[in-house]
Chain A
Amino acid sequence: MTAEALGTFARTDDDAELRNIARMIREDIVRMLAAAGSGHSAGPLGLAELLTALYFNILRHNPADPDWPERDLFFLSAGHTAPVLYAALARAGYFPAAELATLRQLGSRLQGHPERGALPGIESTSGPLGSGLSQAAGYAHVLRNIDRVKHRFVYAVMGDGEINEGNIWEAAMFAGKYRLGNLIAFIDRNNIQIDGATEDVMPLTNLRAKWEAFDWHVLEVDGNSVRAVIDAANLGKAVTWAPTLVIAHTVPGRGVPFMEYDHRWHGLPPSPAQADQALAALRGGETP
């Protein structure tokens, strides 16, 4: 069978194909969450392009050998966005896409939050917020400053609400101190968290300046543009004297009109009827 028949995709640099993968990942997310009856919708939908860019273009990885010693590392710090990671892993070929339907069920390898060891391709258990960046930094420090490996890179995705956590700023100081030029971290800047707008819960004012003050190289991009994310990652790889932070501006619930921009969809799944509506919208055309 061809990869396409299996529903998997290989690395590509073709924008149309990447957008198609992102759309398929969104459909997976909607179906998974509706079947599970619980879970987070807004964040995963908003991250579809970012994870597509990572797993289908940026990362050096091998789905047939998840622990390939030459791979790049990806840490999903915001573990509650697990559905987008699971869909990306399945579509990259780490495990059968049919298994996506088992999300959050008893005995499933797709735990409510990602668990290392449960499913191929999960680098680290996450969910409790704030600890992914420091693990990524620890890995990057070993590569850059101890083992002197230059051709492997470490990536992390944080939520914007997540950076309320003190652990993030401890890690930010650490990565700046050790000049982790091989570390490229993304903030999913979708402006929502559970209790409402990020700026109401705990303002992230001057976000770029905050990270620059910690000696990071900072970029801001449209996080819902696969190409923009890829370009940012490549620029980050070229900057070797500092870790790169990409503020990826995304729309929460992207692609599902009744979810977009609404913080109430942070931690809710669609009902079966809402899922039908969402899938129709996603299939109605490319997201703008």
Chain B
Amino acid sequence: MTAYPINPRVLTTPETEAIRSGFGRGLLAAGEANERVVALCADLTESTQMHIFKSRFPERFVEVGIAEQNLVTVAAGMAHAGKIPFTASYAAFSPGRNWEQIKTTAAMNRQPVIVVGAHAGINTGPDGATHQMLEDIALMRVMPNMRVIVPGDSLEAERATQAIAADPAPTYLRLARDKTPIFSCADSPFEIGRAYILAEGRDISLIATGTMTYHALVAADQLTGLGVSAEVVHVPTVKPLDKAVILASLRRTGRAVTIEEAQIIGGLGGAICELAAREFPARVHRLGLRDRYGESGAPNQLLEKFRLTGRLIAEDVARELGSGTATARL
């Protein structure tokens, strides 16, 4: 297996960029590659980064106003007419408000509507709990015919957006607002449905998605110093899950910690537990939001509060492994 190319500066001085910025570039590239690509927005054109597409292709951009139910159903009609519609709003509202419309008109109809949920996770920061969508992965994962894609950094978001447009089907694409470190490289792979081993290890699998993959890499590095060999599994496609790569990792390490900026119920953690329970019963510890809403604060403060930074994840992993002295040394 070819090693996944990782930004060599990821553990020292990684560049940062908002994941949504990668989406903006990816959508423009997808629009240039295929004139069937259209974009719809619900009064959040700049903050979802759709303005880049809009200024290049004004006639292929639709402004529906603050109307998320209409956003996805108009898109379903446009998809039926042959288009590949990307619909954008904040994840709190789409799919937060329009789940049934997505189910009936996009997923059941098998229309290639792409639901882009921006500003997901506690990364949304000061706007507070109403705007920090944490239930979206679970909500969308349970929907038949729906793919769930959670890019880990801006470069991957750019690749994922183009990959979705090239293989149109009902899809949820989850984005984050604030700048986050870039761990991938220009030539890192992205395929829908694939998970990637970013660091090999023997003792435990750190299975992460979205912004948490960077923190998993930091945690693995810190754990190395404690004599713990942690494997980092990056899962940008939560559905369909790459069972082969994840199970192979579980078989190597025998236990896992899942990490996501989302509710631990039903999200990536839920997906890994469902897989492990049937295929390779292993101890799985889930990190994320524990059945509670977020709150206002700077993104970094919130990551600390909810113990989702690399250092705190390493602490929890060490505790999970039962190495109490190691925890004390951190």
Contacts and interface: CB of A to CB of B under 8 A. Distances in A.
Interface of A: 73, 75, 115-117, 123-128, 130-131, 134-143, 145-147, 166-167, 170-171, 173-174
A127 B70 CA distance: 16
Given A134-B69, A135-B77, A138-B78, 11 more contacts: A115-B108, A116-B109, A138-B77, A138-B80, A141-B62, A142-B81, A147-B82, A166-B69, A171-B74, A173-B67, A174-B74
A260 B70 CA distance: 34
A125 B101 CA distance: 11
B80 A123 contact: yes
B67 to A, nearest CB: 4
Contacts of A139: 77-78, 80-81
Q: Which of A130, A139, A142 has its CB near the most chain B CB atoms (within 10 A)?
A: A142
Contacts of B69: 130-131, 134, 166-167, 170
B122 interface: no
A135 B74 CA distance: 5
B83 A142 contact: yes
Interface string B193-236: 00000000000000000000000000000000000000000000
Nearest to A126: B104
Contacts of A73: 80
B59 A145 contact: yes
B67 A125 contact: no
Contacts of B67: 170, 173-174
B253 interface: no
A269 to B, nearest CB: 24
Contact of B73 (A117, A142, A143, A171): A171
B73 A131 contact: yes
B51 interface: no
B109 A125 contact: yes
Chain B interface size, under 10 / 10 to 19 / 20 to 34 / 35 or more: 20 to 34
Interface of B: 38, 59-60, 62, 64-65, 67, 69-70, 73-83, 85, 100-101, 104-105, 108-110
Contact of A135 (B65, B105, B110): B105
Q: Which of B64, B77, B81, B105 has its CB near the most chain A CB atoms (within 10 A)?
A: B77
A283 B220 CA distance: 79
Q: Which of B64, B73, B79, B104 has its CB near the most chain A CB atoms (within 10 A)?
A: B73
A141 B74 CA distance: 9
A172 to B, nearest CB: 9
A208 B64 CA distance: 23
Q: Which of B38, B64, B100 has its CB near the most chain A CB atoms (within 10 A)?
A: B64
A137 to B, nearest CB: 6
A166 B64 CA distance: 14
A139 B77 CA distance: 5
A167 B104 contact: no
B77 A136 contact: yes
B77 A173 contact: no
Q: Which of B100, B104, B108 has its CB near the most chain A CB atoms (within 10 A)?
A: B104
Given A123-B80, A138-B75, A131 B101 contact: yes
A123 B80 CA distance: 8
A130 B75 CA distance: 15
B205 to A, nearest CB: 39
A73 to B, nearest CB: 8
Nearest to B78: A138
